Structure 1
Amino acid sequence: MRIRRNAFTLVELLVVIAIIGVLIALLLPAVQQAREAARRMQCSNNFKQLGLALHNYHDTFGAFPYGSRAGTVSYPNLSGVNWRTSILPFLEQKNVFDQLNFETGSFNEPFTGNEVLNNLVIDAYICPSSPVDPKVAAPNALNGNQGSLMHQYVGIAGAYPDPGGRTAVVKQTARGYAAGTGMLRPGEVTRFRNATDGTSNSLMVSEQSGMVDGVVLAANYGGGWAGQPESHPVPSIGSTSENYYYTGLTTVRWQINYETATASSSSQPYENNTILNSLHPGGVMGALGDGSTRFIPETIDMEILRRLSACDDGQTVSF
């Protein structure tokens, strides 16, 4: 007498496995999209924090911080700071800020006098979609011991060529074109009244959380906190061969997510036209002068992007 047992045949089992595989293949992109949507939302929240911090700074001091400024100690100590250091108290980092030595301390490794900055990570300066380790510096950046956070958000100093055709406030240097027409400027401060095109039409901060041809090239030559070696603003640049550069800012010259680095412009972290980029599909996040957050598509017309990057060129464009 035979006992009949109920079970799957080999063919049935293979069919079930195949169906499960198809379902997983269909579901996986949706899961990835959901994860990226969450990361993009977090990135947008970071920009909201930065916009609010910059506005609170303006309310407190009557102006936005120097986009990048020199300090009292000359290169290579880079004792000056950029806007990302200045707004620390408004990012709930007042305890860190109060320990900083702005007279003789270094804002680059080894952070002599400012050891509190060593290995300090501020989540508000890091894009959650970026696979880039924020402690890994670009080639030729001053971050040999990886103790300085490589910030992934950059201030907008202006654009080249200037949409208004001005040349006195956009100067060519040995390190690329430098502008003093944006919301965050090298060597000087701005106020709301400087944004004559309207704060809602002026890009203030954007992203450098991606890579250029597989290399990290962001405005972090002296690390994420340092400023610039020269103390003068852009209008006082006297020569196209002047070795003028800054940390924490970029003068917009290239298309978003542009994949080619250009010598003496965007090929080094000490050049002035480092590219806006990210790993968000299709563009970058940005904060406008009114504190609002926008997604800027990589397909944006360059003339519109330049107009958004210059806050006082008289070429108003609605975002």
Structure 2
Amino acid sequence: MCSDPECCRQRSGYTIIELLMVVGVISILIALVLPAVQSARNSARQVQCLNNMRNVGLGLIQATDAADRFPACGYYGDGTPGTVGSFRSWVVEILPYIDQGTLYNQWNFEKHYLDPLNAPLGETHLPVLTCADDISVVPGQGNLSYVVNSGVGFSALIAGIHDCPIGPASGKLDLNGNGITCNSSTEGDGTPSDREMFFQMGLFFNETWKGEVRARRHHTMAGLTDGASNTMMISENIRTGYDPTRSQSNWASPNPYLTSFYIGYPCLNGTCSEGNVDYNLANSGSSAINAGIDQPEGSSPFPKSLHYGGVNVGYCDGHFQFLSEKIDGKVYAALASPQGGALEGTLLAQ
């Protein structure tokens, strides 16, 4: 009982000031907790992305060990009758090593990837091939978030010349700086040819399939003279894989803009002549790591992710780590090259 009349008239409860203070404290707590929750989710997605890449990368290493060579990033016909067209990508080669032996056994290696026998297989969604942070993934399609290291470019048929090294954004490559492109001959001047230097600066290459072989080059584990732990094998690129505007794009396509990542062309003015080599260009501009995030699928073949500050990368010795987008261009180019030491004595050794 309340003996004091004044006490009896007092009502229990919160004042407006107290209520506002409680609401303010709760708001501050929510503001502190939400970023932490979001950060935890981002970290979980990045770990899942790295785990998927690890499985794909180890599949690549197993396929390499089994064949005693790295697979081609893409197989094409050589232009002779019956072998024209696009056959398959590196992903097909590793299917048995990523628990997709059934798909591999159904693949008809005599047919193009768009042949009615192969096309439905290449459209199969394989979760291990995608990153959880890849916002371009389309459910139920042949998505791909991981690409292999192809150095400074790929080879193609240019003006009737087969196996011509070209850059994804720079055109024909004059790597030895002698003014000659699309030609293996250096006319006895002792300078390595563009094709030789091209081979030393990248790990995966386009190759011809069947018929008269016009482009066949590949590395072996033993040939990684810079060291397997110092040679990048695989990276993320969220701007590759399936594109809703192009039904021919999926993980089976050998299109070099979909299979591979490249470093920026390290030579000014389109030629690696004296004074033109600048390795700062290897990680700069539109070819820099994480540049071109907003570009359409297949138009920006350089490493990129939505992880803050860099991308996940796998190396030929089987270790995987986060690579900073601020990495020095010369270091970045050296990691892309499996035989960088062989460039000593050339202008590209600068």
Instruction: Measure, in 2, the Cα distance between the counterparts of 1:60 and 1:185.
Output: 18
Closer, same or farther: CA 269–130 of 1 in aligned 2, 3 Å: closer
Higher share of residues assigned helix: 2
Aligned length: 262
**In the alignment, what sits opposite 2:224?**
195
Correspondent of 1:103 among 100, 104, 110:
110
CA contact (8 A) 2:224 2:339 kept: yes
Give the TM-score normalised by the residue count of structure 1: 0.72
Instruction: Measure, in 2, the Cα distance between the counterparts of 1:128 and 1:148.
Output: 15
- What SS does the aligned partner of 1:81 have? strand
Closer, same or farther: CA 270–298 of 1 in aligned 2, 3 Å: closer
Whether 2:262 is the aligned partner of 1:251: answer yes
**Root-mean-square deviation (Å):** 3.1
Answer with 307-316 or 39-48: which moved more.
Answer: 307-316
**In the alignment, what sits opposite 2:185?**
none
The Cα of 1:150 is off from its aligned counterpart by 3.2
Q: How does 1:149-160 map to 2 (within 5 A)?
A: 149-159=142-152
CA contact (8 A) 1:154 1:208 kept: yes
Aligned residue identity for 2:68? G
The Cα of 1:107 is off from its aligned counterpart by 2.0
Unaligned runs of 5+ in 2: 154-162, 174-197, 208-216, 265-286, 345-350
Give the TM-score normalised by the residue count of structure 2: 0.66
Q: How does 1:63-212 map to 2 (within 5 A)?
A: 63-71=69-77, 74-75=84-85, 78=86, 80-104=87-111, 106-108=112-114, 112-117=116-121, 119-134=123-138, 148-159=141-152, 171-172=165-166, 176=170, 179-180=198-199, 181-187=201-207, 188-209=217-238
Unaligned runs of 5+ in 1: 136-146, 161-168, 229-244, 262-266
The Cα of 1:269 is off from its aligned counterpart by 5.7
Q: How does 1:2-41 map to 2 (within 5 A)?
A: 5-41=11-47
Instruction: Measure, in 2, the Cα distance between the counterparts of 1:114 and 1:51.
Output: 24
Answer with 20-29 or 278-287: which moved more.
Answer: 20-29
- What SS does the aligned partner of 1:196 have? coil
**In the alignment, what sits opposite 2:302?**
275
Instruction: Measure, in 1, the Cα distance between the counterparts of 2:135 and 2:330.
Output: 30
The Cα of 1:296 is off from its aligned counterpart by 0.5
The Cα of 1:153 is off from its aligned counterpart by 0.7
CA contact (8 A) 2:73 2:260 kept: yes
Instruction: Measure, in 1, the Cα distance between the counterparts of 2:63 and 2:218.
Output: 12
CA contact (8 A) 1:221 1:270 kept: no
The Cα of 1:74 is off from its aligned counterpart by 3.2
Aligned residue identity for 2:107? L
Identical residues among aligned pairs (%): 28
CA contact (8 A) 1:117 1:148 kept: no
